[in-house]
Chains A and B, each alone.
With several copies, the nearest count.
Chain A
Amino acid sequence: MEISFTDKDLEFRDEIRSWIENDYPKHVKEKQDKGEALTKEDITDFHKAIAAKGWMGFNWPTEYGGTGWTSTQIYIFQKEFGLAGCPAILPFGVAMVGPVIYTFGNEEQKKRFLPDILNFNTWWSQGYSEPGSGSDLASLSTKAVKEGDHYIVNGSKTWTTLAQHSDWIFNLVRTETTEKRQEGISFLLIDMKSPGVEVEPIITIDGAHEVNTVFFTDVKVPAENLIGEEGKGWTYAKFLLANERFGIAVVGAEIRQLNKLKEIVSKLNNSDLSRKVKKLEIDLSALEISGLRMLSDIETKGHPGPESSILKIRGTEIQQRLTELFVEAAGEHALIYPGPKGHEADSQPDGPDYAAKALAKYLNYRKTSIYGGSNEIQKNIIAKMILGL
């Protein structure tokens, strides 16, 4: 056992750091460091820069154009990006649909979709949740009916992150009504420009437009957009979920936030808050080691176990707690909230400059324990899969 990095790991880390130092697009960095909202163009520029370096497929095998990095390298890459305050890499293409395509798609599909993901030429969205089916994903009712060489899709998907910017959406759709609900589900890729696709914004309590409902009305989808076999969509969806490595990806960003918070709190002379920050620091350090333990397991067994549910739960709890403590640090100045974009440059209130951002994040992050399988569902999974209850 050894907690330190090898020299090779440290060299790798320096390479990442050097990219961030030199090639992380300056206009994105500037906004990001100030906590300003990024435009669609900013986000695209950031991803294109990563793609240019060949790092977009950071979690892909080399045969599909990925980096072929070890788990430790992926961890270092994500942590360094987080520590440096880079925007999150959008998971929908590279972490979600990409691995599904190269694992279950046909050669045609691989050629057609993978390069655009690696070059960030297509912006993907995820079509899983529906207005009527949240945690109970298998109850989804969006229908895809085969007509000749097309599917006709009707229904809706909701909580679709950044669908307003996206080119493509991958969907779980019902192609058959079966007794076992999971068996009638298929995995279908839909071009967002298809006639009959409509995007309706959902404004969240922080006032932001980040998520949407996507409506499908008689949308004609070529049959070649079906991944794998009809009725096997549930298997692919589960593969995708298991591939998510929540909690590790965010550690770097959370450490950066924590350090900011520590700096703020060190000037407040507030022992209660200092104590809470210490507790959170310990929680975060446990989370990081838990993530590393999971990586060790992946290296040994080839895949993460249901333990990743623990990371999801603890990770979101820590994220949320961190946003709470920023709000507490803002004290009475947490009363003012100008919305997710913050104050106009010429009308800042007198008071801590982080207050508005703190509130935006506190409100926005309430979602983290709900999405991606609510924390209640994660506990059900742990109870069943790990504890055998």
Chain B
Amino acid sequence: MDLNFSDEQKMLREEIQKFCMSDYTFEKREEIIKSGEGFDRDFWKLFSELGWLSLPFNEDSGGFGCGPVELSILFEEFGKVLVLEPYLSTVVLSGYIIDNSSFSQRVEFVEAITSGNKHVSLAYIEPNQNFDHADPETSAVNDGENIIINGKKSLVLNGGNADDLIVWVSYDDKKALILIDKEQSGLSFIEFPTVDGQTCTEISFKDVNVSKDAILAIGDEAEGLLNEAINLATLCVSAESIGCMTACYMKTIEYTKGRQQFGQPISKFQVLQHRMVDMFMETEVCKSLLYKAMLECDSNQDTKSKSVSALKYQIGTSGRLVSQEAVQLHGGMGVSDEMLIGHYLKKLVAIDALFGNSDYHLKKY
């Protein structure tokens, strides 16, 4: 048993922290959101150059073969400054599926992703379902050498910027994951802003005709890939939440120390002190559950999905509490859009909505 980060992991964290603290200012972030692009392409290029886009990919596809621990470090640091770039969508969700599939162009695709030139989005959510997407209504049927896809997917993260889509479909009496070029005819898109300043897309498929070569995986393999990808992504957003919560309590401490009321900094009021202690303790509880989940995922233990559910349940509950308290203790400034603090609250709403909320995961646990 060893709960210390390795030297490499510590160095990775420092590198990410350095970027986040110096380059990812509130003003820069606002600028990215206002651009309507969803993210900053220069930053994405930088992520590629720093090797961050290669972290989780298998070494035989040119990646660094890093695991859940390194991804947790990355996302925790991203959470602290609310990084908008679509790492979750392109690298974690789609990247995992492609990299671990038996897809013939796997290596080329991974290279395109890690070089920062390609974005891929995973389209698995359907509008009439809630959190549980095991049985997609979107269907693929055989048509000679090709297959024809019909249906609708919603809440596709970064769908607007994606070059390709991975679509989760029913295929005969099985399920399948199919890779589709976004330029393919028969696709239509509506883009929406997300509550955390990113974008997502609703995609309709009308007689979309693709070659059978586009099938990434079928049956048990497809289900396994999707579940593993979502499990890993759930871990990542949970780590991101912990970054948010950490920033929330640290910024609240800082703010209350500077805010004078009744002749003293409000940080001197015992009631506020104990509430900041509660914020801190909630964050620590989440961190402990993160350690458990990331290490169980790392060693691929049978209980890993249960540990991730425990984590996501707690993240939802604690995240809401911590971000609401952060806003409350900031007073009026907390609800102003010009302070970062309210944006953590919005991020935590978004994360609760992703991959199953608190109640969903408690039930699943």
Q: Tell me, yes or no, whether A and B come into direct contact in the complex with CB atoms closer than 8 A.
A: yes
Q: Which residues of A contact B (CB under 8 A)?
A: 1-6, 9, 72, 129, 132-136, 139, 158-159, 202-205, 207, 268, 270, 272-273, 275, 278-279, 281-283, 285-290, 292-293, 295-296, 300, 307, 310, 313-314, 324, 327-328, 330-339, 347, 349-351, 359, 362-363, 366-367, 369-371, 374-376, 379-380, 382-383, 386-389
The answer for the CA separation of A2 and B294 in the assembled complex, in Å, is: 10
- Interface Cβ pair total, 8 Å cutoff: 232
Residues from chain A with a CB closer than 8 A to the CB of B4 are: 1, 296, 300
Identify the closest chain B residue to A158 (Cβ).
Answer: B332
Q: Is the CB of A289 within 8 A of B288?
A: yes
17 interchain pairs, CB-CB under 8 A: A1-B6, A2-B295, A134-B332, A204-B335, A204-B336, A283-B285, A286-B289, A286-B310, A289-B289, A331-B357, A334-B352, A347-B190, A349-B192, A362-B349, A371-B332, A374-B328, A380-B273
Contact with B276, one of A281, A292, A387 (Cβ below 8 angstroms)? A387
Given A205-B342, A286-B285, answer yes or no on A335-B3 (Cβ-Cβ < 8 Å). Answer: no
- Cβ of A287: which chain B residues have Cβ within 8 Å of it? 288
User: Which stretch, B44-52, B79-87, B125-133, B216-224, touches the partner chain A?
Assistant: B125-133
Q: Which of B2, B274, B354 contacts A379 (CB 8 A)?
A: B274
- Give the secondary structure class of A's interface: helix
Residue of B nearest to A376 (CB): B271
B residues apposed to A, CB below 8 Å: 1-6, 9, 69, 125, 127-128, 130-131, 152, 154-155, 190, 192-195, 200, 202, 249, 253, 256-257, 260-262, 267-274, 276-278, 280-281, 284-289, 291-292, 295-296, 298-299, 310, 313-314, 320, 324, 327-328, 331-332, 334-338, 342-343, 345-346, 349-350, 352-354, 357, 359, 362-363, 365
Q: Contact check, A290 vs B285: say whether CB atoms are below 8 A apart.
A: yes
Closest beta carbon of chain A to B142's beta carbon, Å: 27
Residues in B neighbouring A387, C-beta threshold 8 A: 249, 253, 273, 276-277, 280
Residues of B close to A283: CB separation below 8 A: 285
Of A139, A158, A288, A383, chain B has the most CB atoms within 10 Å of the CB of A383
B257 cross-chain contacts in A, Cβ below 8 A: 389
**Cβ-closest chain B residue relative to A365:** B335
Tell me the bound Cα distance from A331 to B354 in angstroms.
Answer: 9
A328 CA to B358 CA in the complex, in Å? 9
Cα distance, A9 to B2, chains bound together (Å): 12
Q: Which residues of B contact A314 (CB under 8 A)?
A: 281, 285
Q: Compute how far the CA of A283 lies from the CA of B291 in the bound complex, rounded to whole angstroms.
A: 14
By a CB distance below 8 angstroms, the chain B residues around A292 are 1, 3
Residues of B contacting A133 with CB < 8 Å? 261
Assuming A335-B200, A359-B195, is B277 touching A296 (CB within 8 A)?
A: no
Q: A1-B69, A136-B261, A367-B332 are in contact. List 19 more A-B contacts (CB 8 A).
A: A1-B5, A1-B9, A2-B1, A3-B1, A3-B292, A139-B261, A158-B332, A268-B130, A272-B363, A282-B365, A331-B353, A332-B155, A349-B202, A351-B127, A363-B342, A371-B332, A379-B271, A383-B274, A387-B249
Q: Are A370 and B194 in contact, with the CB atoms below 8 A?
A: no
- Rank and list the top 3 A-B pairs by shortest CB-CB distance, nearest first: A205-B342, A350-B127, A337-B195
Give the CA-CA distance A307 to B284 in the complex, in Å.
10
CA A283 – CA B285 in complex, angstroms? 8
- A-side contacts of B261, CB under 8 Å: 133-136, 139
B1 in contact with A350 (CB, 8 Å):
no
Contact B292 A366 (CB under 8 A): no
Could you tell me the distance between the alpha carbons of A324 and B349 in the complex, rounded to whole angstroms? 10
